[in-house]
Amino acid sequence: MSEMTTIARPYAKAAFDYAVEKGELAQWSEMLTFASEVAKNDTIQDVLDGGYAADKLTEIFLSVCGEQLNDAGQNLIKVMAENGRLKILPEVCTQFLFLKDELEKTIEANVISAVTLDEGQMSAIISKLEQRLARKVKLNCSVDETLIAGVVIRAGDLVIDQSVRGKLARLNDTLQS
């Protein structure tokens, strides 16, 4: 996995720098997300493993992507195909989106709660996380009734477990030690 990260980094950085220079971050995010999903497709994976020449791979990939890629996006696909790197497009997309979030000072936080959160609760969580992380926070909320009550928040490397299940597990660990 770290090898894929190392290989993908220059492509992500080049695309990011170009997108910032041209003021097209949102467009490039959409293009790379789309191309990443195409690269994950089982049929396309078989084509990428098929030993086709770079120009044929480029032609196939671009015919699937159609109008979703602008000229610069098509050029990125061509360069990656020539270097035999189309399989790492999902990692390129991940790194590009990370760089974009760093520039925009945003972070996604996954909130798992025992019950559906109302607007006031979500606003309070966003406010506290923005204070703590000094970033704009986007919440992804989901419900897991096995938590009994409370929430588990994951934002980057930060994990805040305020669920009853988590508290019971910590109490159990303390009692056993």
Per residue in 91-150, pLDDT tens?
A: 999 999 989 988 888 888 999 998 898 999 999 999 999 999 888 888 899 998 888 888
Interatomic CA distance for residues 63 and 137, integer angstroms: 37
Interatomic CA distance for residues 116 and 97, integer angstroms: 28
What is the pTM assigned to this prediction?
0.72
Interatomic CA distance for residues 75 and 96, integer angstroms: 16
Interatomic CA distance for residues 79 and 66, integer angstroms: 17
> Which SS3 state, helix, strand or coil, does residue 66 take?
helix
Q: Is domain 105-176 in CATH 3.40.190, yes or no?
A: no
Which part of the chain is CATH 3.40.30?
105-176
Whether residue 1 has pLDDT greater than 80: no
Which part of the chain is CATH 1.10.520.20?
2-102
Q: Is domain 2-102 in CATH 1.10.520.20, yes or no?
A: yes
pLDDT tens track for 22-65: 888 889 999 999 988 988 888 888 877 877 787 888 888 888 88
Q: What is the pLDDT of residue 18?
A: 92
